């Protein structure tokens, strides 16, 4: 048996940054994502976010890739949301996402950051957070292409 423990912090946005994830429904959406991923053997630790984006912290299994996990999460959650009748606005996710590895010593800090997104975004816009990620992790800037 192989032993693998790779923590991933992933972030993705609603297409065109529409504020579809209202305060009335976002916790239900996050809980659905959490439960669904666990049912698919994705080791999801936590899911959170704000009105136009989602953060999650999960562990990769030895047979999983970030790309496949993200396709599964984003595809199923938008399908589920649009069938649920939560909103007249259809939910579509941007194709792009951020994904970074997290050291074991930082897991608690990242989990807290994800769970306090509501408070966090009282003082920081999505654009500020986006630019912070780009700078902090040295990403090449990508812009909405779809």
Superfamily of domain 6-137: Transposase IS200-like (3.30.70.1290)
Strand blocks (E) in 14-141 = 43-50, 53-60, 98-102
Domain ranges of the chain: 6-137
The tens digit of pLDDT for each residue in 12-67 reads: 999 999 999 999 999 999 999 999 999 999 999 999 999 999 999 999 999 999 99
The tens digit of pLDDT for each residue in 67-122 reads: 999 999 999 999 999 999 888 889 999 999 999 999 999 999 999 999 999 888 88
Strands 53-60 and 43-50: antiparallel
Structural tokens at position 37: 């991923």
pTM for this predicted structure: 0.89
Decide: 14 and 53 in contact? Cβ < 8 Å.
yes
């Amino acid at each position: 048996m192989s032993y693998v423990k790779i923590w991933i912090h992933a972030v993705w946005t609603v297409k065109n940054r529409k504020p579809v994830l209202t305060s009335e429904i976002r916790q239900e959406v996050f809980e659905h994502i959490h439960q669904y991923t666990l049912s698919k053997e994705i080791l999801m630790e936590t899911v959170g976010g704000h009105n136009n984006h989602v953060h999650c912290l999960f562990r990769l299994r030895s047979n999983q890739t970030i790309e496949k996990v993200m396709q599964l999460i984003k595809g199923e959650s938008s399908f589920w949301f649009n069938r649920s009748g939560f909103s007249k606005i259809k939910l579509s996710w941007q194709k792009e996402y951020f994904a970074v590895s997290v050291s074991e010593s930082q897991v608690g800090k990242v989990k807290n950051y994800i769970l306090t997104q509501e408070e966090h975004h009282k003082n920081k816009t999505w654009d500020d957070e986006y630019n912070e990620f780009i700078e902090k992790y040295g990403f090449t800037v990508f812009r909405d292409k779809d």
